[in-house]
Structure 1
Amino acid sequence: MGGLAQNLTTIGFDADDTLWQNEQFFRLTEAQFADLLADHADKQHLLSRLLDAERRNLGLYGFGIKGFTLSMIETAIEVTEGRVPADVIAKILAAGREMLRHPIETLPHVHETLEALAGRYRLMLITKGDLFDQERKLAQSGLGDIFDAVEIVSDKSRETYERIFARHGDGAGRSMMVGNSLKSDVVPALQAGSWGVYVPHDLTWVLEHADEPETEPRFRRLSHLGELLPVVETIG
């Protein structure tokens, strides 16, 4: 990589399903939701309608559990043609509250990788979703003191990374973004001129899927976060 190899100073990390488990709780709640509405729609049809509602509502509610809960209620009203019992709505709300209380389970290799990089690079947490929920998860994870900066954003785009890496680092060109979402973490970071490191998770929300930018010279794909340090050292 020539001169580029000496330029990396800042590394951003996604949070959900990169540092700790998240999507599994959505899948479990979807299964509960399907059971609640089993008399009104089969599971696949119901979850397809739920996904449609989530897609419609992203611009209004943003990403996170609260928007997901509202989309479940909206879908329940739709599939029952307005006849959904109040106790079902109450159970949907209870399921959403339970998601907001779920314990934090960090993924393998997270602590040792962050500790190995801390002090050598500026480390940032760049996550999207509900402010209160993301702050709760960061506090419970025990990782908060490792990061030099935390940005909780409504969405992730090329402009997001340009702005954040200019504010907290030395610009996008000297930065790296690490995450499990090609659509949110990798592709827009590459578009901004950063390195983009993809760490797949077994469960990734369908609306976060995208094609791997295999021809991009700054793209890297890892099997797990424990492989990051050698990659970083190779880049510089």
Structure 2
Amino acid sequence: MEVSYKNIKVIGFDADDTLWVNETYFRDAEEAFAKLLSQFETPNKIDQELFKMEMENLPVYGYGVKGFILSMVEMALELSNNTVSNLTIAKILAIGKDMINKPVELLDGVEEVLKTFSKDYRLILVTKGDLLDQERKLEKSGLINYFHHIEVLSDKKEANYSKLLKHLDIKPSEFLMIGNSLKSDVLPLINIGAEAIHIPFHTTWAHEEVTVNKQDNKTFATVSSLRDTIQLIA
């Protein structure tokens, strides 16, 4: 069934891996961390255990680079039975700081899309993660002036979106969300009566993956690039 966007007045955009590169840097950091701890375990096992640690720590640290850094430090202590050296801890912190200081690499067509849609729609940025880090990336991106509102959520569940739309006096039927994550940017919006467009990124964090059966009876569009949304919505 074809989706209609004729009632849309506000378009929300995810940030990480929708407007700019993010997950790639986490994968690079995971690889560097595995090499650093290679004397204690195999790279595959280290990746698995680090992911488990991240999931355990999410309720405490939330999303973002800083929580990831703390999980790496905790994982290093656990893998080494608390024998890891101060030098190795310092190198882990350096991996994290390198992630934070990465340049903001915009994805193809981002500014063209924002410039096009800003003429006819109110645009908002809806992301999650560490507030300071997301503010830094947005400032570096040069995109801040396209958005009427910027929201950094602790999580992206139905309740979070419903609260945000109510706060901004936006009817779900008049809201469209565009993002790379089915779990965070698409399905919660469909479930509250809004619209969503999925733009898959080539790398997806395991925590954001959903199985096919969870998408049953969900109507949303999927496009290969952000630029494709111009023709879809026009």
Task: Please indicate, yes or no, whether the TM-score normalized by the shorter chain is above 0.5.
Answer: yes
Equivalent residue, structure 2, for 1:50: 50
Equivalent residue, structure 2, for 1:199: 199
- Asked whether the 8 Å contact 1:127–1:151 carries over to 2, the reply is yes
Offset of 1:180 from its aligned partner? 0.5
Give the alignment's TM-score, normalised by structure 1. Answer: 0.94
Deviation above 6 Å: which 4+ runs of structure 1?
none
Q: Secondary structure of the residue that 2:17 maps to in structure 1?
A: coil
Q: Secondary structure of the residue that 1:17 maps to in structure 2?
A: coil
Going from structure 1 to structure 2, the CA distance change for 1:224 and 1:155 (only over 3 Å counts) comes to: same
Q: Does 1:97 align with 2:97?
A: yes
**Partner Cα distance (1:95, 1:72) in 2:** 10
Q: Secondary structure of the residue that 2:96 maps to in structure 1?
A: helix
Q: Secondary structure of the residue that 2:227 maps to in structure 1?
A: helix
Identical pairs, percent: 41
- Asked whether the 8 Å contact 1:161–1:172 carries over to 2, the reply is no
- Asked whether the 8 Å contact 2:125–2:149 carries over to 1, the reply is yes
- Asked whether the 8 Å contact 1:169–1:175 carries over to 2, the reply is no
**1:124-203 aligned within 5 A:** 124-203=124-203
Offset of 1:51 from its aligned partner? 0.2
Q: Does 1:227 align with 2:228?
A: yes
**Partner Cα distance (1:24, 1:142) in 2:** 21
Equivalent residue, structure 2, for 1:18: 18
Q: What CA RMSD, in Å, does the superposition of the two structures yield over aligned residues?
A: 1.5
Q: Secondary structure of the residue that 1:119 maps to in structure 2?
A: coil
**Partner Cα distance (1:182, 1:57) in 2:** 22
Which residue type is aligned with residue 87 of structure 2?
A: D
Which residue type is aligned with residue 207 of structure 1?
A: H
Offset of 1:167 from its aligned partner? 2.6
Which residue type is aligned with residue 216 of structure 1?
A: K
Q: Which moved more, 1:224-233 or 1:126-135?
A: 224-233
Unaligned runs of 5+ in 2: none
Equivalent residue, structure 2, for 1:28: 28
**1:49-68 aligned within 5 A:** 49-68=49-68
